[in-house]
Every structure is written in structure tokens, then in C-alpha cells.
């Protein structure tokens, strides 16, 4: 007969936190959300941490280099998706590591022989009013001038007028040489009252722009997640098929941490992959593993040498693994079981293996619940797919702006490697869907709003750190009628325009 767990499998929505005593020092401004990203020994500090407990999922529609920069700027980490060629993934990692805060590679470029109509189309596509005029129309071409909104008037100029006739030429521009520090660049901007400063190489080719508007933004990001060389920390996904070729390329590109992307991680394939990394790199290369949903699965991956373990099967908003295959577990039940095993493992071995809660996050307060239940950080897909920085397209549906969002197990992604059972190289059936999510604007604005809620709830529980929250948290299961009571009820709501 099978083993039957009689307790029901619970989700985050079935729990509430009970408030605890809060001292006068327990205010959101004093809350630290720093959390370990990789394993460490008792009495030591982890070699990698996150300043906020949020990482982005290994997904085509979520994690590319643009989102990696935006999330690292806020204090988190992105895991670049691996359902692409090794060369393309390594290039995304390299671009993230090469990114200089405040130094922007121009994405609005045009040739001098192009027209005003071309400028307007480019502005509409990128949303940027500063356009670099380069010899070949690329971001790395020889700089000849720039075009801003002050250089033309649509009502008084013909659409076919050449850019070279109305651009501000290089001879009238103030530029700075490659190697100029951000402080020096900002000093030049303020001294000459500029809106932008082109950074130019010795060969005359455009390297970057430094913008006045970015100065205040840079000052706001005091929580950036940086490595020892002041570069953004970035992760990368790998699979259990081509790891022998993919891992060296990602390590060479500068990936700080790897993560085995798999729908189910309690397998020998993960051990083989981790063994390869340990034999080739020792403990220098950090790699997370998963996903699992019980103590036995955690113990297996911890013994294999995983630097962190991901928890969750079938709880993602685009995942239909439970529906298709009948495997998985409610995310709250899985997390509580695994985190208990993590603490027992720490007591036995003196090695703390961080737990990542992956999936099941519907509302912002679910993040706080996941942390209270023992997670060190959460992995989010749908959450980040909604933002400007994700790689998917915006689309208007029934008057509402949406963004595309699809699962790695969908027919669109065709990421058969993450469902590796040792068979043929194909996707036999779907375990994910192709969908849309409501467009939500900039990542930074939304993340800060979410974290404000997390900090506030932690203060209600009398906790100033995640570790303190996990010790002090009191959780209660709620009934179906209690859930109804928790929202607006028995009133007529005003229409929100």
C-alpha cells in the first residue's frame, strides 16, 4: 500500500500571521531584508547574499539581462533563462556583468542620412527623446551628433528632412572620454547644465550616455546587489543535459551563481550535474538545485552538495504539472516540511542550506508568509513578467495593457530539458500554458511597494530581520468563511474609475 499523508496539502492563502509584540524600535525603516543565497557553515558568513529576498525565475518571458540589471539594482538576483543557446545565455550574463550603473548603452540610434520621420518612429518605439547620430546608426558607431526634442519642430518641418540638417553636431557637443568616472560625468553634467553626456572612445565611437535624470535614481539605489568588483550579481539557469558545455561558458561569462532548472529535482540527474561542477570547480562555483516538496527530497539534494534548494511543484500560475501528471504539493505544506528538514540538517551538520520558495505567490503578503514559514528567499515569475524590464511584449486586450507570459513547459517555450527523464529530446506533452498578465509598469516602483508591505507586516510580528520573523512568527490556518471575512464584505463598494 502507498504512504498516505492524511493532513491536507495547504497553500499560502490558507494561512494568516498572528501579530506579536512590537517595540518602538520596530518600524519599517529599521527592517533588514538581507538573506543568504548560498550555503555556509555555522559561525561563517555566506559568500553570496541577497539584499532583498526576491529572485526572478529561470523563464524566457521573465529573466534576461535587462531584468537582471533592474533587479540587482533593487538588491535581488535574476537567473537568466537557459532554454536558449549556450552562446546567447552567456552573452546575457556577460552584458549584465559589464553593465556600469549610470552608464547607459544607447538604444536610440540613427544615421545622418535618415529622416525626421525615422526619428519620430524611433522615439515612439523606444520612448526616448535623446537619439544618438552615428556613422552606421548603431550604438557603437562613430558619434556624429545627437538629436533631442529641441532640435526639431514637427509642425514646421517636412517629414523627409535629413537628420544631418537639424541635429546638434559633434563640434557643438560636450563629451567625455572613455574611462571617465560616474562622479566626474555627473560633475560635468551639473557644471554645463546638460541633460545628457556622451562618453566617447579614443576612436571617436560612442560608448555610453550618462543622463541627468539618472543621478537621483542612482542615489536612490543604496541597496544594489554588487560583487567584490562593484558589478551587478547575476545568476544563470542550467539543465541536466548539456551542463558539461553550458556551465563552463556561463562561468567564463561571469555568472555568480547557477541554478538547475527542473520541474522535479529528486533525481540522480541532479546529482550527476552537481558532481560534474564539484569535480571541475570544487566549491568555487555555486549551484542551486530542485525542485522538491518534502524533507526527503531536500535531504537528498543537500547531501549532493546543492548550495540552495528550491521548493515547489505545480504551484506556478502558468504551471499545469499537477493537473497533467498528478504530482506536487500545496506550496505552504511543502515549504514548512522542507524548512523543518533544513533546520534539522543544520543542527546535525553545521551547514545551513538556504531554501528558495518557488511558486504559489499570488499576493504580496504571500511573500511574507513564505519567509515566516522558513524560506530564505522567493523565486517569482508572474510577478516580474508584468514589468517594463521583462523580455515579453506589451499588447492591448479589451482596452487593457497586458504582457505575454508563458511557462517553460508550454509548447511555445518547448523547454524539454527541464522535464528530463532520460528519454528522447522532445516535449511529449505540455506542463505549462501560454498566457497574459496585467502590465504593471517599472520593476523598481513595484518592488519597493511590495517590500513596504513585507516590512510593515514584519514589524507587526515584532521582527526586524527575516531570521527573527521565522523565530517569532505565529501562523494560523483559516476557514473558507474566515477568508471571506478577511476581505471587503457586506458593503456596497464605490466604483473605481
Residue 431's nearest CA partner among 320, 326, 323 is 320
3-state SS assignment for residue 17: strand
**Of the residues 82, 319, 356, 459, which is catalytic?**
319
What grid cell was written down for 476? 494560523
Q: Is 418 a catalytic residue?
A: yes
Residue of 246, 299, 386, 418 with catalytic role: 418
Contacts 24+ apart (CB under 8 A), 275-280: 275/304, 275/305, 276/243, 276/244, 276/247, 277/243, 277/247, 278/305, 280/247, 280/248
List, in order, residues 6 or more apart from 42 with CB less than 8 Å away. Answer: 346, 350, 351, 352
For the chain, counts of helices (H) and of strands (E): 16, 24
CA distance 82 to 213: 34
C-alpha grid cell, residue 482: 474566515
Measured CA to CA, the distance from residue 83 to residue 255 in angstroms comes to 16
Cite the beta strand spans of 364-473 per DSSP E: 377-380, 394-397, 400-406, 434-438
What Cα–Cα distance (Å) separates residue 65 from each residue in 52, 53, 231, 255, 259? 19, 19, 13, 12, 16
Mark out the alpha helices in 287-429 (DSSP H runs): 295-304, 321-325, 331-349, 364-372, 382-385
Decide: 480 and 43 in contact? Cβ < 8 Å: no
Query: CA distances (Å), 17 to each of 7, 125, 476, in order?
Result: 20, 45, 6
**In contact, 315 and 360? CB cutoff 8 Å:** yes
CA distance 232 to 217: 16
Task: State the greatest distance between any 2 C-alpha atoms of the chain, in Å, as a whole number.
Answer: 84
205 CB burial (10 A radius; 0-12, 13-18, 19+): middle
The label of the residue with cell 559568500 reads 47
Per the structure block, which three cell numbers stand in for 75? Answer: 538588491
- Residue 41 bridge partners (DSSP): 351
User: Does 82 qualify as catalytic in the annotation?
Assistant: no
The alpha-carbon radius of gyration of the chain (Å, integer) is 25
Give the active site residues.
319, 418
Amino acid at each position: 500500500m502507498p504512504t498516505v499523508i492524511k493532513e491536507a496539502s495547504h497553500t499560502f492563502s490558507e494561512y494568516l500571521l498572528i501579530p506579536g509584540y512590537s517595540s518602538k524600535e520596530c518600524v519599517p525603516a529599521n527592517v533588514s531584508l538581507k538573506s543568504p543565497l548560498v550555503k555556509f557553515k555555522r559561525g561563517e558568513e555566506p559568500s553570496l547574499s541577497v539584499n532583498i529576498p526576491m529572485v526572478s525565475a529561470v523563464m524566457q518571458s521573465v529573466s534576461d539581462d535587462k531584468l537582471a540589471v533592474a533587479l540587482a539594482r533593487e538588491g535581488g538576483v535574476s537567473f537568466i533563462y537557459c532554454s536558449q543557446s549556450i552562446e546567447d545565455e552567456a552573452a546575457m550574463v556577460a552584458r549584465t556583468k559589464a553593465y556600469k550603473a549610470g552608464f547607459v548603452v544607447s538604444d536610440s540610434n540613427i544615421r545622418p542620412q535618415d529622416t525626421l520621420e525615422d526619428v519620430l518612429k524611433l522615439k515612439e518605439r523606444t520612448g526616448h527623446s535623446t537619439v544618438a547620430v552615428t556613422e552606421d546608426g548603431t550604438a557603437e558607431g562613430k558619434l556624429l551628433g545627437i538629436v533631442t526634442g529641441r532640435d526639431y519642430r514637427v509642425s514646421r518641418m517636412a517629414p523627409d528632412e535629413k537628420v544631418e540638417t537639424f541635429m546638434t553636431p559633434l563640434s557643438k557637443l560636450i563629451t567625455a572620454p572613455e574611462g571617465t568616472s560616474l562622479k566626474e560625468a555627473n560633475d560635468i553634467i551639473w557644471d554645463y547644465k546638460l541633460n545628457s553626456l556622451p562618453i566617447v572612445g579614443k576612436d571617436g565611437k560612442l560608448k555610453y550616455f550618462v543622463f541627468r535624470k539618472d543621478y537621483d535614481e542612482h542615489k536612490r539605489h543604496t541597496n544594489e546587489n554588487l560583487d567584490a568588483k562593484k558589478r551587478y550579481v547575476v545568476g544563470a539557469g542550467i539543465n541536466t543535459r548539456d551542463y558539461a558545455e553550458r556551465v563552463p561558458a556561463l562561468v567564463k561569462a561571469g555568472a555568480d551563481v547557477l541554478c538547475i532548472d527542473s520541474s522535479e529535482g529528486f533525481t540522480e540527474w541532479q546529482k550527476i550535474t552537481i558532481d560534474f561542477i564539484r569535480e571541475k570547480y570544487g566549491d568555487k562555483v555555486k549551484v542551486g538545485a530542485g525542485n522538491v516538496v518534502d524533507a526527503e527530497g531536500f535531504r537528498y539534494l543537500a547531501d549532493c552538495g546543492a548550495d540552495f534548494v528550491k521548493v515547489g511543484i505545480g504551484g506556478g500560475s502558468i504551471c499545469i504539472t499537477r493537473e497533467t501528471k498528478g504530482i506536487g504539493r500545496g506550496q505552504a505544506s511543502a515549504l514548512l516540511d522542507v524548512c523543518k528538514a533544513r533546520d534539522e540538517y543544520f543542527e546535525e551538520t553545521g551547514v545551513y542550506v538556504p531554501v528558495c520558495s518557488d511558486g504559489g505567490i499570488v499576493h504580496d503578503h504571500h511573500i511574507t508568509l513564505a519567509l515566516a514559514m522558513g524560506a530564505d528567499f522567493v523565486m517569482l515569475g508572474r510577478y516580474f513578467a508584468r514589468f517594463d524590464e521583462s523580455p515579453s511584449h506589451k499588447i492591448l486586450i479589451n482596452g487593457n495593457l497586458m504582457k505575454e507570459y508563458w511557462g517553460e513547459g508550454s509548447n511555445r517555450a518547448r523547454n524539454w530539458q527541464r522535464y528530463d527523464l532520460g528519454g528522447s529530446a522532445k516535449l511529449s506533452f505540455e506542463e505549462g500554458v501560454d498566457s497574459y498578465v496585467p502590465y504593471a509598469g517599472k520593476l523598481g516602483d513595484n518592488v519597493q511597494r511590495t517590500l513596504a508591505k513585507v516590512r510593515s507586516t514584519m514589524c507587526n510580528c515584532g521582527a526586524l530581520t527575516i531570521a527573527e520573523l521565522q523565530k517569532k512568527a505565529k501562523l494560523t490556518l483559516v476557514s473558507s468563511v474566515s477568508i471571506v471575512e478577511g476581505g471587503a464584505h457586506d458593503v456596497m463598494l464605490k466604483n473605481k474609475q
